[in-house]
Amino acid sequence: KMAAAGGKAAASAILCTGRQALRRQPQLSLYNPERSMSTRHPLKLDQAQRDQLLRPLIAQGWVLDAQRDAIRKQFQFQDFGDAFGWMTMIALRSEALSHHPEWFNVYNKVEVTLTTHDCAGLSLKDIEMAKFMDEKGGA
């Protein structure tokens, strides 16, 4: 019991340390600066941003879902442990950015959909999250 309790405490300490480290990272301004702090919402990507920012993501396997104004991708890992570890890393980053993916996991596969509900479509938050997922992701 002592070893299990110690393991849980160590895991909790690592998780807290990870959250603190992510919160200290400089953040891009993803919001409309003309809105007040209480109603800040990300801006939907305009056509020029879409042309520039989505092209490299599509080349990396992301698929545009025009009906939802979202992007989707399936990541594949060696096994469930690798998939779950990646999801945990993404969850910590998501909390730091206050932007959470829609995802579905079965064994070594994780299907991800990114869209920004606050602006009813794609925003810079989705681009940032997709790049991070690709950087840390599986096949």
**Per residue in 80-137, pLDDT tens?**
999 999 999 999 998 888 888 889 999 999 999 999 887 888 999 899 999 999 998 8
Is the confidence at residue 12, as pLDDT, over 70?
Answer: no
* CA pair distance 3, 130, nearest whole angstrom: 38
User: What pLDDT score was predicted for residue 7?
Assistant: 43
**Between 45 and 111, where is the model more confident?**
111
pTM (2 d.p.): 0.69
34-43 burial: b if 16+ Cβ within 10 Å, else e: eeeeeeeebb
